[in-house]
Structure 1
């Protein structure tokens, strides 16, 4: 427990699962079984596979009796590395926000739309899409964030809005379909989203609804940026629409919603007829042609094979 204290909840759960298996059976077979189990929980997200590959690569050469303790140590190192990546993403994205702020009247905020949660609850410390926002706030640049609710799990309403409030960032919660309306009226200066997997050609797979935001941004000449650490780039995939598996989640997430009652109790209610079926694809793919730039830890890359190769020549 002392070694996982302070780790993001997702990493902590994964590491505890790995270590619990390794304490009971630290064999290679058990290590492979844990890899398969955890990988199947998020088939769309490439960074989970990257972390699982790294842990297996690191643990396999070790004597079985040393693997549990070593797994904790490597997890801590990965978390610390992620802090550095996210901070660098924030600095590179901050330059974009500064450029927009310089074109506005003094004191007028830079209005940013984001979708889903790519903050420090999902990653480490700064988050990815939120990192430029946090650094801009710390630098004294006025920003205002329009937070998509992100149905059906409401990560924006429940997580991103909570982060913005805690950090003192001015923000407004909007329904998912309001983004295009605001763009048409010049209320959005830029869009920043995260990604679960980016192809070697610059296609971006992110939470369902991202594609529609990118279409609206393109139609209204609003820059659309994606913030991503390099582990989310899948160098083996080129056509995101054809090659990235899209996680299909429970229909109950669409038909049922959780919320807090006036009495302060957490309750679940149904919002559709019991006989109505629901579909729940968790992600969609935004083609590279709709992406203004990819904000990485090394700089802002063009959303193309050439752009990513120039930024990461050793991986390409």
Structure 2
């Protein structure tokens, strides 16, 4: 019984799905995006993939849509920080570009998130406030300035993917097809 509950909990994240596919021998390779500007994909996702022994390569965020267009990608799995009542999702910046690339390439775009991420009180993605994290994260890297002094920046932490670009939303208890 405990094992089944753990498996259901694990499947609530995109990496949980990747782990399950890997354990079943159905995973050829993961292309993990670096996730700028804080590089969570490069630092954390690749670490988790290496720990589970899943074959993977790291990809620059902006290369994702290009690689989708070239073919050879079977699906895009992505998490969500919030899901509006209508199925629009908010996730790390760059998610919308991947959804557009997936749509154009005819590749399924699947959001994997806990049921608790669904916010029935937020009607659409247009009602989700997007945080701007300020210039510091992108004009410098780990405290070293890379942009000229005086350069300002726009740094949205998230973007919203409209439901019509989403093939399915997978939670621990159901699959939703917006």
Aligned residues: 176
Residues of 2 paired with 1:290 and 1:89: CA distance?
26
Deviation at 1:89, TM superposition (A): 6.5
Structure 1 position 128 matched with structure 2 position 13:
yes
Superposed counterparts of 1:259-298, under 5 Å: 268-298=143-173
Residues of 2 paired with 1:146 and 1:200: CA distance?
30
Superposed counterparts of 1:237-276, under 5 Å: 237-241=122-126, 243-258=127-142, 268-276=143-151
CA separation of 1:220 and 1:170: change in aligned 2, threshold 3 A: same
CA contact (8 A) 1:145 1:169 kept: yes
Higher RCO (CA 8 Å, separation ≥ 6 residues): 2
Map Cα deviations across residues 89-135 of structure 1 (whole Å, 9 max, x no partner): 655xxxxxxxxxxxxxxxxxxxxxxxxxxxxxxxxxxx611111101
Query: Which runs of at least 4 in structure 1 moved beyond 4 Å after TM superposition?
Result: 83-86
Deviation at 1:250, TM superposition (A): 2.9
CA RMSD of aligned residues (A): 1.8
Map Cα deviations across residues 50-81 of structure 1 (whole Å, 9 max, x no partner): xxxxxxxxxxxxxxxxxxxxxxxxxxxxxxxx
Point out the structure with the larger strand share.
2
Deviation at 1:162, TM superposition (A): 1.1
Residues of 2 paired with 1:203 and 1:295: CA distance?
13
Q: Which runs of 5+ in 2 are unaligned?
A: none
CA contact (8 A) 1:85 1:229 kept: no
CA contact (8 A) 1:89 1:296 kept: no
Q: Which runs of 5+ in 1 are unaligned?
A: 1-82, 92-126, 259-267, 304-316
Structure 1 position 189 matched with structure 2 position 74:
yes
**Pick aligned residue for 1:200 from 81, 85, 96:** 85
Point out the structure with the larger helix share.
1
CA contact (8 A) 2:18 2:27 kept: no
